[in-house]
Amino acid sequence: MSLQGKHILLGISGSIAAYKSATLTRLLIKKGAEVQIVITQAGKEFITPVTLSALSGRPVISQFFASDDGTWHSHVDLGLWADAMIVAPATASTIGKMANGIADNMLVTTYLSMKAAVFVAPAMDLDMYKHISTQRNIERLKSDGVRIIDPTEGELASHLEGKGRMEEPENIVAILEQFFASGNDLEKKKIMITAGPTYERIDPVRFIGNFSSGKMGFALAEESASRGAEVTLITGPTALSTSHPNIVRVDVESAIEMHAAALKIFPLMDVAILSAAVADYRPEQVADEKIKRSGKENLTLSLVSNPDIAASLGEIKKPEQLTIGFALETSNEEINAIKKIENKHFDYIVLNSLNDQGAGFAHDTNKVTILSRDGKKRSFPLKSKREVAKDIIDTALKPSTIDNEWLYL
Ligand code: CTP
């Protein structure tokens, strides 16, 4: 494997482990990459820009402007130039700033403009690493799609032993090579994803809805798009936004609208992932005017059933098309999920249980079991929704990579 011609943006923050950045730069260059270094003010206390520019063959950037001639260093251009960004070492402070968008230096500003995949290799003392604040920021970065390269255990700068040593440069390079080897593995795949809740109108100001946040569907869209897929995301009302240019977003409100959009788009797709929490029923009548209380003690709404989007797609599905459904069950979970595979003609179903803490609606994490049409299953621990998205995509679209990880039902 090589990194021939790859543009790597290396961010260095202020940690003792910055000495390893020199080796990392040298190894990246040896593998054929072009390396642009952005260093924080604190980073320069640990390693000099002279060493780093000699190794990378490029001036090292640390300010928004070059102080001698006023040249503006465009973080936007750097964001477009890079094929990957790696922050190594990443201190607790830099991780915190990245997780919260505090762009008070060139490194974090460049991160906010980054279009390519971002890797973060933390380096800090064990107490700082374990601290709830650091862990919260790392989790937030993970759910933003940043790939964390876990620190290793060993002797730390404080002479204490524990987890916090930055991963060795050789292993970081191997991770980057692996990423580029499988990086665009969904290129040209057309993937439709339904996400979020649907709102079923009662009158001009009220609706029937549910607690779906849309996070799982959006994570699936970002994961697929970052791997080169052309994604169409049909979403019910949510507060979420998409960032990847490969995602076309179609906003809908009700199950009927989502059904119409999905039926129109599906024939052009290779894959459909149905993660929306579609309302099973809608009010039979939508009142033109706001319904008044006017002394009524009881109000009865008559509901009619909504179309089943997944089942409709199942009927028009061609053999080469793949559909993946979701099931949220509270009892007889696997049996019910298997029934849905049959009824809705899914190839795979992702089962999440409301009995699992941290799984399901509104959480940033999820714990799933994936069942296949041909009677196999894979169960996963609690993970960020972005990592769950990766597991779902790998299981359904890259089955050869997980051949021996199935259990037979
Ligand atoms: N689904 C859909 N359209 C609907 C209802 C559900 O596309 N009108 C999809 C969901 O996006 C999900 C799967 O079908 O992928 C399972 O949804 P679920 O609500 O669990 O299934 P139901 O058929 O409604 O069964 P239940 O009786 O358990 O509610």
Distance, CA 308 to ligand 1 centroid (Å)? Answer: 7
Q: Read off the pTM.
A: 0.73
Is 210 in the active site?
A: yes
Distance, CA 43 to ligand 1 centroid (Å)? Answer: 52
Report the residue among 281, 344, 348, 392 best suited for mutation to probe ligand 1: largest number of ligand atoms under 8 A from its CB.
Answer: 344
Report the residue among 211, 256, 273, 280 best suited for mutation to probe ligand 1: largest number of ligand atoms under 8 A from its CB.
Answer: 280
In the chain, DSSP finds a helix count (H) and a strand count (E) of: 13, 22
Letter string b/e over residues 233-249, b meaning 16 or more CB atoms within 10 A of that residue's CB: bbbbbbebebebebbee
What is the number of the ligand 1 atom nearest to the C-alpha of 327?
20
Are 195 and 216 a contacting pair, CB within 8 Å? yes
Q: Is the pLDDT of residue 360 over 70?
A: no
Q: Return the top range by mean pLDDT from 2-6, 236-240, 241-245.
A: 236-240
Q: Is the pLDDT of residue 242 over 90?
A: no
Are 395 and 348 a contacting pair, CB within 8 Å? yes
Distance, CA 170 to ligand 1 centroid (Å)? Answer: 47
Tokens of 66: 């070059």
Band the pLDDT of 6: cuts 50, 70, 90.
very high
Q: Which of 371, 258, 368, 374 is nearest to 310 (CA)?
A: 258
Residue 372 covered by a domain:
yes
Are 120 and 148 a contacting pair, CB within 8 Å? yes
Residues 227 and 255 in one domain: yes
What is the number of the ligand 1 atom nearest to the C-alpha of 349?
15
Residues 51 and 101 in one domain: yes
Residue 2 covered by a domain:
no
Q: Look at ligand 1, atom 8, and give the residue with the nearest C-alpha.
A: 308
Across residues 64-85, what is the average pLDDT? 87
Q: Ligand 1: list residues with CB < 6 Å.
A: 194, 255, 274, 276, 278, 280, 306, 308-310, 325-328, 340, 344
Q: Is the pLDDT of residue 358 over 80?
A: no
Question: 190-214, pLDDT tens digit by residue?
Answer: 999 999 999 999 999 999 999 999 9
Question: 93-141, pLDDT tens digit by residue?
Answer: 999 999 999 999 999 999 999 988 899 999 999 999 999 999 999 999 9
Residues 288 and 395 in one domain: yes
Residues 300 and 397 in one domain: yes
Across residues 364-381, what is the average pLDDT? 93
Average pLDDT of the chain is 93
Three-state DSSP class for residue 106: helix
Residues 171 and 199 in one domain: no
Alpha carbon distance 203, 21 (integer Å)? 61
Distance, CA 274 to ligand 1 centroid (Å)? Answer: 9
Question: 281-320, pLDDT tens digit by residue?
Answer: 999 999 999 999 888 899 999 999 999 999 999 999 999 9
Tokens of 86: 């790696």
Q: Which of 122, 59, 113 is nearest to 87 (CA)?
A: 122
CATH of the domain at 379: 3.40.50.10300
Instruction: Please tell me what DSSP assigns to residue 403.
Output: G
Distance, CA 347 to ligand 1 centroid (Å)? Answer: 15
Among 1-5, 298-302, 395-399, the minimum mean pLDDT is found in 1-5
What is the number of the ligand 1 atom nearest to the C-alpha of 310?
7
Q: Is the pLDDT of residue 243 over 80?
A: no
Q: Which of 190, 245, 195, 201 is nearest to 220 (CA)?
A: 195
Band the pLDDT of 187: cuts 50, 70, 90.
confident
Which of 155, 182, 209 is the endpoint of a domain?
A: 182
Residues 174 and 210 in one domain: no
What is the number of the ligand 1 atom nearest to the C-alpha of 326?
15
Q: Look at ligand 1, atom 27, and give the residue with the nearest C-alpha.
A: 280
| Domain region containing 333 | 190-408
Band the pLDDT of 404: cuts 50, 70, 90.
confident
Distance, CA 125 to ligand 1 centroid (Å)? Answer: 47
- Three-class SS string for 199-265? CEEEECCEEECCCCCCHHHHHHHHHHHHCCCEEEEEECCCCCCCCCCCEEEEECCCHHHHHHHHHHH
Alpha carbon distance 367, 134 (integer Å)? 23
Report the residue among 256, 278, 322, 328 best suited for mutation to probe ligand 1: largest number of ligand atoms under 8 A from its CB.
Answer: 278
Helix (H) or strand (E) holding 154: strand 152-155
Band the pLDDT of 69: cuts 50, 70, 90.
confident
Alpha carbon distance 386, 161 (integer Å)? 31
Domain count, the chain: 2
Three-state DSSP class for residue 283: strand
Tokens of 43: 């980073």
Q: Is the pLDDT of residue 37 over 80?
A: yes
Q: What is the pLDDT of residue 67?
A: 76
Report the residue among 265, 308, 315 best suited for mutation to probe ligand 1: largest number of ligand atoms under 8 A from its CB.
Answer: 308
Residues 85 and 172 in one domain: yes
Residue 1 covered by a domain:
no
What is the number of the ligand 1 atom nearest to the C-alpha of 343?
23
Q: What is the pLDDT of residue 375?
A: 93
Residues 221 and 157 in one domain: no
Residues 177 and 195 in one domain: no
Q: What is the pLDDT of residue 120?
A: 97
Residues 143 and 39 in one domain: yes
Q: Among 137, 171, 210, 298, which one carries the catalytic annotation?
A: 210
Q: Look at ligand 1, atom 17, and give the residue with the nearest C-alpha.
A: 327
What is the number of the ligand 1 atom nearest to the C-alpha of 255?
8
Residues 194 and 171 in one domain: no
Distance, CA 192 to ligand 1 centroid (Å)? Answer: 16
pLDDT above 90 coverage of the chain, percent: 78
